[in-house]
């Protein structure tokens, strides 16, 4: 590789943010997302009739496990000492979807936003994996940070119910 190709472009350096001067405080983050599926697939999930087993229980466990490994997945994300992760799943026949809601908590120097987002995403991906045999048209979307608390930046709550606004 030539010397010119090996140089980092100005302004393109990457680094982990130094949080050592920050105080440890209780950090909480809430994220949500949805998987849209056919009404028949939703009914099959609710009746527990899918070949791979209890979709909602496996999905919850997968989300919790993923939250605990967030820093291994996202390069500049700090590992944090999670004190709690919960994943709730609610189905909506009206919208033919399952909504995932994850809450991540930690007493640490940096927030738990990424952990809650990863928990939601992996929960929804797990539903997709367990249902792909019966429904190829599933769509995952509307993943967003809904609320966070703790740290210097204080409390944040999404104002819009509609993602992208």
| Residues marked as catalytic | 129
Q: Render each residue's pLDDT in the chain as its tens digit; 165 residues.
A: 444 444 556 666 888 898 988 889 999 999 999 999 999 999 999 999 998 999 999 999 999 999 999 999 999 999 999 999 999 999 999 999 999 999 999 999 999 999 999 999 999 999 999 999 999 999 999 999 999 999 888 899 999 766 654
Partners of 101 in beta bridges: 32, 88
CA dihedral (14, 140, 58, 75) in degrees, to 10, reads: 0
Question: What is the pTM for the complete model shown?
Answer: 0.89
């Amino acid at each position: 590789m030539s010397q010119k190709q090996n140089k980092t472009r100005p302004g393109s350096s990457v680094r982990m943010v130094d949080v050592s001067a920050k105080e440890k405080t209780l950090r909480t983050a809430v994220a949500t997302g949805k998987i849209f599926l056919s009404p028949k697939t939703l009914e099959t999930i609710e009746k527990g009739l899918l070949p791979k087993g209890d979709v909602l229980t496996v999905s919850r466990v997968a989300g919790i496990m993923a939250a605990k490994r967030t820093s291994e997945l996202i390069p500049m994300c700090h590992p944090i000492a999670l004190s709690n992760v919960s994943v709730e799943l609610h189905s909506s026949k009206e919208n033919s979807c399952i909504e995932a809601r994850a809450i991540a908590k930690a007493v640490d120097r940096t927030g738990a936003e990424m952990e809650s987002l990863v928990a939601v995403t992996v929960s929804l991906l797990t539903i997709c994996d367990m249902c792909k045999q019966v429904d190829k048209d599933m769509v995952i979307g509307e993943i967003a940070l809904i609320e966070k608390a703790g740290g210097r930046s204080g409390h944040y709550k999404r104002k819009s119910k509609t993602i992208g606004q």
